[in-house]
């Protein structure tokens, strides 16, 4: 995980995001998943260049994304934007999806979010050693 910088902060914020299709309908065939992944990378490149996607995968009725989100964004806003853009796009691209969800979003309500960070033990030791001479021997969080 890369350390990134903004004007007044340094961060490593990576998340594992998961959400499912509405009614858990299984429409994510390989070609739909490939198109979703392509859309996601294009969306980030064009509209949200300060987000960084590490990995994307789909199952028949849900998606997994490993993404780095800067502290200037709320995770909920990022998920909302991705879900909205992808719903509109996939319904236009695949008529069978559009027919499943006439006048509605293709995604179920809610999402799962988990942080992906440094080892808990490393952070505990780093905090424990603050102010002690041995601090030079502990790993730096800002390398």
pLDDT tens digits for range 61-97? 999 999 999 999 999 999 999 999 999 999 999 999 9
In a 13 Å sphere around the CA of 130, the CA atoms on its Cβ side amount to 7
* Global confidence as pTM: 0.82
- The tokens of 86 are what? 């992808």
Parse the chain into domains and list their residue ranges.
4-118
Evaluate if residue 27 carries a pLDDT over 70: yes
Determine the topology of domain 4-118 in CATH: Alpha-Beta Plaits (3.30.70)
Nearest to 114 by CA among 66, 74, 80: 66
């Amino acid at each position: 995980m890369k350390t990134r910088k903004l004007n007044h902060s340094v961060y490593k914020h990576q998340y594992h995001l998961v959400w499912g299709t509405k009614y858990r309908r299984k429409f994510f065939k390989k070609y739909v998943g490939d198109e979703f992944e392509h859309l996601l990378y294009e969306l980030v490149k064009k509209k949200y260049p300060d987000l960084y996607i590490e990995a994307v995968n789909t199952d028949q009725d849900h998606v997994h994304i490993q993404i780095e989100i800067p502290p200037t964004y709320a995770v909920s806003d990022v998920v909302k934007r991705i879900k909205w853009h992808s719903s509109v796009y996939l319904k236009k691209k695949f008529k069978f999806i559009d027919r499943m969800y006439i006048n509605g979003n293709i995604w179920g309500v809610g999402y799962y979010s988990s942080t992906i960070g440094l080892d808990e033990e490393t952070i505990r030791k780093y905090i424990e050693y603050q102010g002690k001479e041995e601090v030079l021997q502990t790993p730096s969080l800002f390398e």
